């Protein structure tokens, strides 16, 4: 918008007067304020969001087997946990999963855990900017930790804290609990340093195999002997504790043990 409104010359004005006005008064084009720069010119093009934040996540339990989040999903929150993979016995555990699902199909709808691992932390929340520093802290904390060969023994029934899901799990053989606790301690210290929840007390090391919606602890405990017989058909369930993993959303970090 122009700052000064200039009308046309009067019909009685002489050519000399018009000439004088043209040389003494600024023209309209000179008095116009230059257009203000756009935000894009000042700040540059709008930065693309990281892929992880492209879309808001809607917590719809029907999309993931009826599971309910233990904490509200918010943009920038990364579900995080520390674990040991159960790769050494994954084939045996997967065979048991299929047999157990079939065995209890008429009484209960069981789901197989896709990721077979032994947890060494609760599931906690990190912000995006914390991930790399947290990973470095964990790497440093585990530098002196020693790996070992272990095994899983038996079955046990668990529920989550909200009792919205029930799990069938294979516990760590009691002979290896002390060694696993030695690996857990520095992890717990990192959690404490970041003001996050430490692992459960007392610690119960296990690999979750199957789960179902709701509190089905009583029913599954009544079926535990039958399930145990299915598992006994498998050979020794070896667990190679030679690396620890950190899972943050879709990122996975690996720390090799001595």
**DSSP letter string over 9-60?**
PPTT--HHHHHHHHHHSPPHHHHSPPPPPPHHHHH-SPPPPPGGGSSPPP--
Is 117 noted as a catalytic residue in this protein?
A: yes
DSSP-assigned letter for residue 154: S
Q: Which of 73, 117, 129, 245 is catalytic?
A: 117
Closest-CA residue to 166 (of 256, 66, 257): 66
What would the two tokens of residue 55 be?
A: 């879309």
Distance between terminal CA atoms of the chain? 73
CA distance 216 to 108: 9
Cβ neighbours of residue 49 under 8 Å, at least 6 residues apart? none
Is 206 noted as a catalytic residue in this protein?
A: yes
Catalytic residues: 117, 206
């Amino acid at each position: 918008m122009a700052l000064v409104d200039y009308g046309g010359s009067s019909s009685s004005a002489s050519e000399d007067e018009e000439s004088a006005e043209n040389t003494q008064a600024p023209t309209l084009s000179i008095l116009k304020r230059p257009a203000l720069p756009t935000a894009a010119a000042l700040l540059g093009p709008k930065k693309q969001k990281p892929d992880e934040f492209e879309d808001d996540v809607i917590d719809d339990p029907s999309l993931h087997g009826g599971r309910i989040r233990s904490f509200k999903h918010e943009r920038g929150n990364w579900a995080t946990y520390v674990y040991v993979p159960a790769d050494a016995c994954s084939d045996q555990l997967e065979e048991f999963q299929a047999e157990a699902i079939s065995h209890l199909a008429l009484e209960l709808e069981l789901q197989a855990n896709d990721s077979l691992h032994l947890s060494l932390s609760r599931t906690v929340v990190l912000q995006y900017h914390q991930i790399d520093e947290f990973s470095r802290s964990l790497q440093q904390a585990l530098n002196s930790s020693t790996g070992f060969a272990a095994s899983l023994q038996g079955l046990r029934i668990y529920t989550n804290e909200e009792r919205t899901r029930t799990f069938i799990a294979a516990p760590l053989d009691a002979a290896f609990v002390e060694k696993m606790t030695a690996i857990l301690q520095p992890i717990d210290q990192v959690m404490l340093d970041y003001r996050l929840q430490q692992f459960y007390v007392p610690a119960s090391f296990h690999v979750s195999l199957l789960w179902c919606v709701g509190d089905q602890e009583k029913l599954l405990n009544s079926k535990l002997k039958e399930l145990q017989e299915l598992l006994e058909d498998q050979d020794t369930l070896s667990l190679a504790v030679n690396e620890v993993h950190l899972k943050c959303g879709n990122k996975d970090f690996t720390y090799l043990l001595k």
